[in-house]
Structure 1
Amino acid sequence: METKANGALQVADPLSRTHVRIGHIKFTNALPICHFLDRSDPEIEFLPGAPSELNAWLADGTVDAGLCSSFAYAYNADDYVALRGLSVSSRGPVGSIFFFSKRPLEELNGCVVALPTISASSSNLLRILLAEAGITPSKYVTLEPDLPSMLEQAEAALLIADDALYWSVQDHGCHLYDLGEEWNVRTGHSMTFALCAIPKRLVRENPEKVRKIHRFFLEGKRKGLADMDAVIAEATRMLGQTEEFWRNYFNKLRYDLDEEWAVGANAYFDAAYRHGLIPKPAKVELWGDEE
């Protein structure tokens, strides 16, 4: 929204907008929350994007709220709260965050490791896991998420979401590591890959808008989990595969965020700070209720 003041073109404060701008992850892993979001409300505008795009949009005010990388939340924890009851998490295998390696994990010292351009939480989780296993790559390179081209330039490559799902069932010839499983085995914790972040400034200045956003996402999640057949049909339309494939996949994921799930997220934040990936310690600050 733009206004003119003293003849100059200015961008209006996004908090003054009467409508709501929602960022949502465009990948299949978020379908149980996002597939049934009501797109008929004229006051709600949608911006679908990859996690890295949503992180930037939330930080610069392009969107009022959205599912963003948990790493981006940790990096900006002083500025955000997390809406209770909304995340993309797993306790063990996640099924769509895969590390493809030409050689066993323990043999990657001194090797080049490729990270995808679209990831924040998973890329930094991989850095943590390799460091805590005593593995020091010669360097990390960030590339477009295409496994064959990544492996032309690196000994191992990380893929997330739909790219990971696609390549995990191809004849790739790599050692395959599920980062949700690796994190859980090494720490005993759940892993939260994305959560619904809201700027604290918006909470202070327009709490009713925040409550509307919270109700909106919770209703989408309620409908999605109540009709997984429709969610699976949409995932099949997007990427193919069988009903059994998608049912097994979605059974690995959890979409909750409360004090119990925050323990795993906070453990990840602690590790990120310990390894110098975020500038200061961070904790999840939950907002709202699930009523």
Structure 2
Amino acid sequence: MSKKRLQVGQISYTNTLPVYYYVQTEKFINKADIIQQYPAQLNDAMAEGKIDVGPISSFSYAEHAEEYVLMPDICVGAKGPVNSIFLFSKKSIEKLDQAKIALTNTSATSVNLLKILLQKCKGLSPSYTVMRPVLSEMMVEHDAALLIGDEAIVAKRSDHGYFVYDLGQLWYEETGYPMTFAVWAIRRDALEQHEELLSELHHQFVLSKNKSQRDFTEVVEYTVKHFGADTDFWHGYYSGLIHDFTSEQIAGLEHYYAYAAELGLLPKPVKVTFWPADSYTTTSMN
């Protein structure tokens, strides 16, 4: 019986680019397909078995922790401002009790992080509506709107006059922890059939991440060309992101899962499980 090609997901956002930019894709010709989607789409495709490995919302990992394991060494997180996940509001955040909030339909982690921040940390009780990520439409009948990724970056640069809150910064102020927004997950049922290929893919991801972090210049030039803004903005943006899955990142993520369970967003707290279990080798461990 021939092996099926490995289905590799890729998030269509700039925040994962350092992990993919230097991957030698020629190593995977005839062995793997790379599929670009938004986080929420990848979450669904992974759950349905259409994607074998890729970056998904860290909340989605918690929902399927018995079916997935995580690649060590790589994630998307921040300790403080993440600069691509924003709550835009017509009033200050303390005045959002009973407010109507529009949520992007492209996220799981950030949507639930916002609920934790507003309901558990600030004691507010807003109502939520899920919408496509267009700020002008979201704010017509709502007091605030949550955007993530490149849509959030573009909206932040526009002259809209709203209060703007960075969810990474809010989380850090409330808990003292960094936040991990995306993780690279592997379906357990893909491990046996593709173990060697997955190992090489992980190796390529880590090499790309490390090379990018040593010098973001080439990644920034690519991003400016394809997404606009200037080099200073993107250098600052990439420098503020965390792509190393450190012990501190794990602690912050498991704290987030515990809060989510307290609010009933998850049935129980979740612990992070890596593949392979005995080779957590990130050089950035605290």
TM-score, normalised to structure 2, is 0.92
Q: Partners in 2 of 1:50 and 1:284 — Cα distance?
A: 23
Q: Partners in 1 of 2:6 and 2:114 — Cα distance?
A: 34
Deviation at 1:82? 1.0
Whether 1:158 aligns to 2:153 is no
Aligned length: 276
Whether 1:74 aligns to 2:62 is yes
Rg larger in 1 or in 2? 1
Task: Give runs of ≥4 in structure 1 deviating > 4 Å.
Answer: none
The aligned residue for residue 243 of structure 1 is: 231
Any idea what SS the aligned residue of 2:117 has?
A: helix
Q: Partners in 2 of 1:149 and 1:36 — Cα distance?
A: 37
CA deviation string 1:191-234 (max 9, x = no partner) = 00000001223335543233233223223323332341111011
Please, which of 131, 134, 156 is the counterpart of residue 123 of structure 2?
Answer: 134
Q: Partners in 2 of 1:23 and 1:66 — Cα distance?
A: 4
Any idea what SS the aligned residue of 2:133 has?
A: coil
Q: What runs of 5+ residues in structure 2 fail to find an aligned partner?
A: none
Whether 1:27 aligns to 2:27 is no
CA deviation string 1:151-196 (max 9, x = no partner) = 0021000000101100111111111100000000000111000000
Q: Partners in 2 of 1:182 and 1:171 — Cα distance?
A: 22
CA contact (8 A) 1:258 1:286 kept: no
The aligned residue for residue 40 of structure 2 is: 52
Q: How do residues 35-184 of structure 1 correspond to structure 2 at under 5 angstroms?
A: 35-40=21-26, 41-42=28-29, 43-132=31-120, 133-137=122-126, 139-184=127-172
Q: Identity across aligned pairs (percent)? A: 36
The aligned residue for residue 6 of structure 1 is: none
Output the amino acid matched with 1:97. Answer: I
Deviation at 1:53? 0.8
Output the amino acid matched with 2:191. Answer: V
TM-score, normalised to structure 1, is 0.90
Deviation at 1:34? 1.6
The aligned residue for residue 226 of structure 1 is: 214
Q: What runs of 5+ residues in structure 1 fail to find an aligned partner?
A: 1-11
Deviation at 1:121? 0.4
Any idea what SS the aligned residue of 1:195 has?
A: strand
Q: Partners in 2 of 1:206 and 1:241 — Cα distance?
A: 40
CA contact (8 A) 2:56 2:182 kept: yes
Deviation at 1:244? 0.5
CA contact (8 A) 1:65 1:213 kept: no
Segment of structure 1 superposing worse, 255-264 or 69-78 = 255-264
Any idea what SS the aligned residue of 1:286 has?
A: coil
